[in-house]
Chain A
Amino acid sequence: QVQLQESGPGLVKPSQTLSLTCSVSGGAIHNDGQYLTWIRQRPGQGLEWIGHVYYDGYTDRHPSLKSRLTISIDRSQNQFSLRLSSVTAADTAVYYCAREKTTSSGLRGMDVWGQGTTVTVSS
Chain B
Amino acid sequence: DVVMTQSPLSLSVTPGEPASISCRSSQSLLYRNGKNYLDWYVQKPGQSPQLLIYLGSNRASGVPDRFSGSGSDTDFTLKISRVEADDVGVYYCMQALETPRTFGQGTNVEIK
Contact B37 A107 (CB under 8 A): yes
| Cα-based distance from A96 to B50 in the complex (angstroms) | 12
Q: Mark A79-110, 1 if CB is under 8 A from B, else 0.
A: 00000000000000000101010000111111
B residues in contact with A26, CB < 8 Å: none
The size bracket of the interface on B is 20 to 34
B48–A106 CB distance below 8 A: no
Chain B residues with Cβ below 8 Å from A48 are: 103
Please tell me which stretch of B18-26, B54-62, B71-79 contacts chain A, meaning at least 4 of its Cβ atoms lie within 8 angstroms of it.
B54-62
Do A106 and B103 touch (CB < 8 A)?
no
Interface residue SS majority, chain B = loop
Residues of A within 8 A of B106 (CB): 46-47
CB contact list, B37-96 vs A, under 8 A: 37, 39, 41, 43, 48-51, 53-55, 58, 60-61, 90, 92, 94, 96
Decide: A110 and B33 in contact? CB cutoff 8 A.
no
Q: How large is the interface on A (under 10, 10 to 19, 20 to 34, 35 or more residues)?
A: 20 to 34
Looking at chain A's contact residues, is the secondary structure mostly helix, strand, loop, or mixed?
A: strand
Q: B103 touching A113 by the CB < 8 A rule?
A: no
B39 near A110 (CB under 8 angstroms)? Answer: yes
Rounded to whole angstroms, the CA-CA distance of A62 and B2 in the bound complex is 12
B: residues with CB less than 8 A from A are 1, 31, 33, 35, 37, 39, 41, 43, 48-51, 53-55, 58, 60-61, 90, 92, 94, 96, 99-106
Report A's interface with B, CB cutoff 8 A. 37, 39, 46-49, 51-52, 60, 62-63, 96, 98, 100, 105-111, 113-116
